[in-house]
């Protein structure tokens, strides 16, 4: 019983730290994609302006997708997701 508890705790920590690493990777990948492709029309000020339009995480995803479509980058959904995560972690901080 005790062994199996210790084991599940161990598994829990492994899985948790793995997913944290995966998220950190995603954010840095998102930053790279963003900085390379997205600074043509607006700077980061766009995400910090007082009357910014994005108020929810879902709408942030939509905005990234919309600008991405205008740009015609051919990103995969994972790329859109990574950039969304990056912008959220850095500027929007939405739940
Ligand atoms: C073709 C020019 C153009 C490019 C390139 C562009 N954007 Fe935009 N973006 C805009 C404009 C214009 C707005 C403002 C839209 C509005 O106010 O309704 C905007 C707004 C946004 C917003 C919402 C800001 C707010 O009000 O909170 C986000 C997020 C965003 N862009 C992300 C991106 C990302 C990510 C990329 C790279 C894929 C990108 N943009 C590339 C033109 C562009």
C-beta of residue 83 within 8 angstroms of C-beta of residue 34: yes
| pLDDT of 72 above 70 | yes
pLDDT at residue 50, as a whole number: 94
Q: Is the CB of 82 under 6 A from ligand 1?
A: no
Domains along the chain? 25-92 (1.10.760)
Q: What is the DSSP string of 25-68?
A: HHHHHHHHHHHHHSTTT--THHHH-TT-S--SHHHHHHHHHHHH
What's the whole-number mean pLDDT along residues 44-55? 96
Of ligand 1's listed atoms, the one at least distance from the Cα of 53 is 26
User: Which residue did the predictor score with more confidence, 77 or 16?
Assistant: 77
| pLDDT of 61 above 70 | yes
User: Which residue did the predictor score with more confidence, 33 or 13?
Assistant: 33
Q: Is the CB of 55 under 6 A from ligand 1?
A: no
Instruction: Supply the pTM of this predicted model.
Output: 0.86
C-beta of residue 91 within 8 angstroms of C-beta of residue 44: yes
Q: Is the CB of 94 under 6 A from ligand 1?
A: no
Report the separation in Å between the CA atom of 24 and the middle of ligand 1, taken as the mean of its atom positions.
23
């Amino acid at each position: 019983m005790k062994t199996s508890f210790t084991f599940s705790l161990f598994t829990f920590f492994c899985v948790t730290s793995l997913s944290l690493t995966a998220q950190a990777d995603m954010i840095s990948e998102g930053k790279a994609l963003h900085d390379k492709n997205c600074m043509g029309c607006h700077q980061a000020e766009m995400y910090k302006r007082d009357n910014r339009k994005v108020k929810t995480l879902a709408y942030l995803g939509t905005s990234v997708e919309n600008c991405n479509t205008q740009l015609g980058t051919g990103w995969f959904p994972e790329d859109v997701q990574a950039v969304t995560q990056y912008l959220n972690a850095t500027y929007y901080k939405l739940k």
